[in-house]
Chain A
Amino acid sequence: DAGVIQSPRHEVTEMGQEVTLRCKPISGHNSLFWYRQTMMRGLELLIYFNNNVPIDDSGMPEDRFSAKMPNASFSTLKIQPSEPRDSAVYFCASSPYPGQGTEAFFGQGTRLTVV
């Protein structure tokens, strides 16, 4: 397996534009996580899916952020409208099921810059 695949690797966009980040988890993994890396909070959990269903979205910063997982092999994180303070590295991770002692595997991340 190629691992968790995120696209794009880098995204530069203007304030107010819509941004969509994509993630393909490892085949067979039941859980998918979206994180944001910030100086203040470190690796911050945004949302967690289990079997394509959002289980915990309490980390989504505000209504401008939304995430979907239409099937087991694809997830998106959308920011609309984007703001400069959204600039960060966004990571996606997948796991068979972390609550049962299985590790999570991270994608390479998407570096988002909003100007």
Chain B
Amino acid sequence: ILNVEQSPQSLHVQEGDSTNFTCSFPSSNFYALHWYRWETAKSPEALFVMTLNGDEKKKGRISATLNTKEGYSYLYIKGSQPEDSATYLCGSQGNLIFGKGTKLSVKP
């Protein structure tokens, strides 16, 4: 994998559903893996920065895992709320190149 790739591109869930997205990144010369939350008409804001293989981080209902050997990270949202609606960006390496993001829409 030469670039950061995210899937799915978009996701529609009902309030209360739990969901997860995937980020794939180049596993060679790994430095750090970033997750950002980007609301419409605002600027991206950092959720997690992970550096170690096997890292798991949690912030409220949102958590993330990291596998640097195989080059992937998962972001989980438990009990989605309408305010979770945003684009979730994954970025990798020192020059912070992002994937195209996963756009999450949570219906009340």
B50 close to A (CB within 8 Å):
yes
Residues in A neighbouring B34, C-beta threshold 8 A: 98, 103-104
Verify B49–A102 contact, CB threshold 8 A.
yes
B93 to chain A, nearest CB (A): 7
B106 to chain A, nearest CB (A): 20
Verify A98–B43 contact, CB threshold 8 A.
no
Verify B95–A101 contact, CB threshold 8 A.
no
Interface of B is mostly: loop
**Measured CA separation A103–B31 after assembly (Å):** 13
B103 to chain A, nearest CB (A): 10
A55 close to B (CB within 8 Å):
yes
Tally of chain A residues near chain B (CB < 8 A): 25
Closest A residue to B50 using CB positions: A101
Q: Which of B31, B51, B95, B99 contacts A56 (CB 8 A)?
A: B95
**Measured CA separation A102–B44 after assembly (Å):** 15
Verify B49–A101 contact, CB threshold 8 A.
yes
Interface readout for B35-48 with A: 1 if CB under 8 Å, 0 if not?
00010000111100
**Measured CA separation A41–B93 after assembly (Å):** 18
The list of the 8 closest CB pairs from A to B, nearest first, reads A99-B94, A103-B46, A42-B100, A106-B43, A99-B31, A101-B51, A48-B95, A56-B95
In the complex, 26 of the A-B residue pairs with CB atoms within 8 angstroms, ordered by the A residue number, are A33-B95, A33-B96, A42-B89, A43-B38, A43-B44, A43-B101, A45-B95, A45-B97, A91-B43, A97-B94, A98-B49, A98-B94, A98-B95, A99-B32, A100-B31, A100-B32, A100-B51, A101-B31, A101-B32, A102-B49, A103-B46, A104-B34, A104-B96, A105-B46, A106-B44, A106-B45
Residues of A within 8 A of B (CB): 33, 35, 41-43, 45, 48, 55-56, 91, 93, 95, 97-109
